[in-house]
């Protein structure tokens, strides 16, 4: 990963203090150990911390080409094809990496360039000719980007909140709505932030700030299209899924540095490792962490997969109660994050960093393929809701749910309180309750002070 930061004056082009940009990217040094750079011009300053993956020596940032300058974090998997298209249209390249493709792509296609990109990214392009700053984030928000309007009229942005907090003009006050989000979900979603005034640029959005036109609202450039329903047999759709995964894994294996994978032994990480082994002429480097507690230790499954695909495997036993890492995790996340898996993720990342520069991971399969048990419960509840009108469900199940004792200690058939309350509610409200870390009733008591 890399780190980006910058300041832009959308009003008059006031000078930007390069020391302020330097302080912002210094706060992001962990994102880019291979180098840094800053660039300033009237009314704008960009900074960059680099982790080199492709074109190790040839693509320093911020990168300028004529009236365009970019600071970019990410990887464009189809950059070679886009580069060929741009060369055919007359573009002349000085480097072999994907950064310059974004510069020429902006010049050729403007914001519609985003539709052509296959990758993960967050970047800022300053267009001196248009007197504008363009901020963009990838479809799924893999790469982070925060921004804030400051008291002097400028807009500051950075990959992480800590980069913005290095700017003395950023106020350190809590956003109470974001606190509510955290208490409900266990994390702070896009586009909110716990620091008042700071926003996350949401996944699949861009922000085009033009000098003299004020601060615009972010614009969505991509969203999931659920209207296009796939057709075909289960076998055919399964084969299509594997083909898409194979193409996705191969595209992510393009790197000029050592590459490996996290391996838990679960379906998602095992599938990624299998496809990497299929595509690689060398043994895939895999990393696994384990625990002394048998109920939480997945090393046996991981070892089975590692042997099956002849990987160069490494494992490490860690302490799940290692409180010494708490401060490290808090510093890494910037905002509260109520998921204990962060500890394991940090540990496997630390192991992987000793062996590789880039690691692929399998994640999201349960969400994409409805693997969690809650999806089956939700489907069953929806069938029950279809049998009774809403007002009857509210009267019957609502009364039962409010009076049924909460018995988390009891066998599952006797823990009916949450199910009864879910049946009394609409599908959306019930699902929100099922994934929430606290109920609305608990939050109401918490915030009321009672």
Catalytically active residues, by annotation = 2
* 36 close to 52: Cβ distance less than 8 angstroms: no
What's the half-sphere exposure (Cβ side, CA atoms, 13 Å) at 427?
11
* 75 close to 357: Cβ distance less than 8 angstroms: no
Strands (E), 222-311: 259-262, 285-290
63: three-class secondary structure by DSSP = strand
What's the 3-state SS for 253-265? CCCCCCEEEECCC
Tokens 């070892």 sit on residue: 303
Pairing mode of beta strands 146-149, 155-158: antiparallel
Nearest to 260 by CA among 309, 210, 187: 309
Cα–Cα distance measured from residue 201 to residue 197, given in angstroms and rounded to the nearest whole number: 13
The contacts of residue 66 (CB under 8 Å, 6+ apart) are none
Token readout for 307 is 């042997």
Mind giving me the DSSP string for 172-192?
--B-HHHHHHHHHHSS--TT-
Q: Rg (Cα) of the chain, in Å, rounded?
A: 25
Cα–Cα distance measured from residue 255 to residue 54, given in angstroms and rounded to the nearest whole number: 6
Token readout for 15 is 């000078």
Between CA 118 and CA 130, with CA 124 as vertex, the angle to 5 degrees is 110
* 318 close to 289: Cβ distance less than 8 angstroms: yes
Cα–Cα distance measured from residue 69 to residue 49, given in angstroms and rounded to the nearest whole number: 15
Residue 316 CA: distances (Å) to CA of 289, 329, 353: 5, 19, 13
* Residues present in the chain in total: 450
* 70 close to 102: Cβ distance less than 8 angstroms: yes
Token readout for 127 is 């267009």
Token readout for 66 is 């004529």
């Amino acid at each position: 990963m890399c780190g980006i930061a910058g300041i832009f004056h959308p009003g008059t082009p006031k000078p930007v203090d390069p020391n302020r940009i330097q302080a912002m990217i210094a706060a992001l040094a962990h994102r880019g150990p291979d180098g840094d750079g800053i660039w300033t011009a009237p009314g704008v300053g960009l900074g960059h911390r680099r982790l080199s993956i492709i074109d190790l020596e040839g693509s320093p940032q911020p990168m300028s080409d004529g009236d365009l300058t970019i600071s970019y974090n990410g990887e464009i998997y189809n950059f070679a094809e886009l580069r060929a298209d741009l060369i055919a249209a007359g573009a002349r390249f000085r480097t072999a990496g994907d950064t310059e493709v974004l510069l020429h792509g902006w010049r050729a296609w403007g914001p519609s360039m985003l539709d052509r990109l296959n990758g993960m990214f967050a970047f800022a392009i300053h267009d001196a000719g248009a007197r504008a700053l363009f901020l963009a984030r990838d479809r799924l928000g893999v790469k982070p980007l925060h921004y804030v309007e400051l008291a002097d009229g400028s807009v500051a942005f950075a990959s992480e909140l800590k980069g913005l907090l290095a700017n003395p003009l950023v106020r350190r006050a809590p956003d109470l709505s974001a606190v509510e989000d955290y208490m409900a979900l266990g994390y702070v979603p896009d586009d909110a932030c716990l620091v008042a005034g700071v926003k996350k640029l949401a996944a699949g959005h861009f922000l085009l700030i033009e000098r003299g036109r004020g601060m615009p609202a972010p614009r969505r450039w991509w969203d999931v299209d659920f209207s296009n329903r796939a057709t075909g047999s289960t076998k055919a759709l399964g084969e299509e899924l594997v083909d898409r995964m194979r193409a996705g894994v191969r595209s992510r294996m393009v790197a000029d540095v050592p590459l490996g994978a996290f391996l838990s032994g679960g379906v998602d990480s095992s599938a990624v490792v299998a496809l990497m082994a299929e595509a690689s002429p060398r043994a895939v480097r895999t990393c696994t962490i384990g625990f002394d507690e048998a109920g939480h230790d997945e090393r046996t499954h991981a070892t089975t997969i590692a042997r099956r695909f002849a990987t160069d495997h490494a494992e490490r036993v860690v302490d799940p109660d290692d409180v010494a890492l708490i401060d490290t995790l808090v510093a890494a996340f910037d905002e509260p994050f109520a998921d204990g898996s962060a500890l394991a993720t940090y540990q496997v990342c630390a192991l992987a960093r000793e062996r590789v520069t880039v690691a692929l991971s399998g994640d999201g399969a349960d969400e994409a393929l409805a693997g969690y048990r809650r999806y089956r419960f939700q489907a069953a509840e929806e069938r029950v809701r279809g049998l009774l009108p809403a007002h009857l469900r509210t009267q019957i199940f609502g009364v039962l749910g409010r009076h049924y004792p909460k018995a988390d200690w009891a066998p599952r058939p006797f823990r009916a309180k949450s199910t009864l309350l879910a049946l009394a509610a609409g599908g959306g409200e019930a699902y929100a309750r099922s994934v929430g870390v606290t109920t609305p009733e608990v939050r109401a008591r918490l915030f009321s002070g009672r």
